[in-house]
A and B are shown apart, each in its own frame.
Chain A
Amino acid sequence: MKGLLIKDICSMMKQTKYFFVLAVVMAFMQNDFLFSYIIVYAASLPITALAYDERAKWGRMEETLPLTRAQIIGSKYMMGYITVAVSLAIVFCGRLYGAMAYARPIRMENMFSIVITACIALAVQAVNLPLMFWIGVERGRLLLILIIVSAAFAIVSLWEDLEIHQASLHFPLVLAAAAGITAVLNILSFQISKRMYHCE
């Protein structure tokens, strides 16, 4: 699996560079939208990797390697977890920098919204990956955009709801629920992907 991750990261050097440039710019701009954007972008990288694989017909190559289906599928999930974790770390650093350089206080809700965004990003990945393994990124492009747009709407309306009920919310409980749902979704998604992959 490590080999596959190396391949994906190296073949997406362009995206990886963009990712870091974005991170630095974000740290200076201290824009909340950019903070969410970088997490969602990070979660979309596995799909990009899949699109690259498809274009190179890498699947034919994978058939020849001593790798199980679970390892091949798992590498894409793992990639999503790693990129989201890295983006989270960057966002936290950005916040910390903001707190020190611009004296922007780190508030509980901010941290909360960042983690919730990461959960949603991973949940979207859990919905996307089996679909993409099944119909392919090329053919699934439209569907992909649809899912992402509806996810964006869901996030926005969720934020509005949160604004209203902010006072009555128990943050740790909501966080635990979000993390739990994301985990269950990912486990289910992985199992479905394993079945979807290369059904011939």
Chain B
Amino acid sequence: MEIIIRNSSSQPIYEQIYTQIKDLILNGALAEGDALPSIRGLAKDLRISVITTKRAYDELEREGFVNTVAGKGCFIAGANRELIHEENLKKIEAHMQAIRQLAKGCGITNEDLIEMFRILEVEE
């Protein structure tokens, strides 16, 4: 498991941890049932605040990505893949909305957009 904390980043530290663990779950590096390091252990290893780490874990739990078992620690929750999938769909939808609005404003048609998207794909 790799987590990189950037003190210079404008993103709050708890958010950095939250996002990175979420991404690790998303790309399969962390699977259902995997144990997360203890809050205190992670905080001390990363040399960051215990409170901040706890906040990140709380956030992950609230979003249903991890379960806390009292006395045992934090584990990756089961239903999270679906959850993430849904969340990503929502995100894509939101981005598409934005694209549509921008396109409308300067008269770009749906066909033009699809063409642009294809070109992007080819370039990759």
Asked whether the complex places CB atoms of A and B closer than 8 A, the reply is no
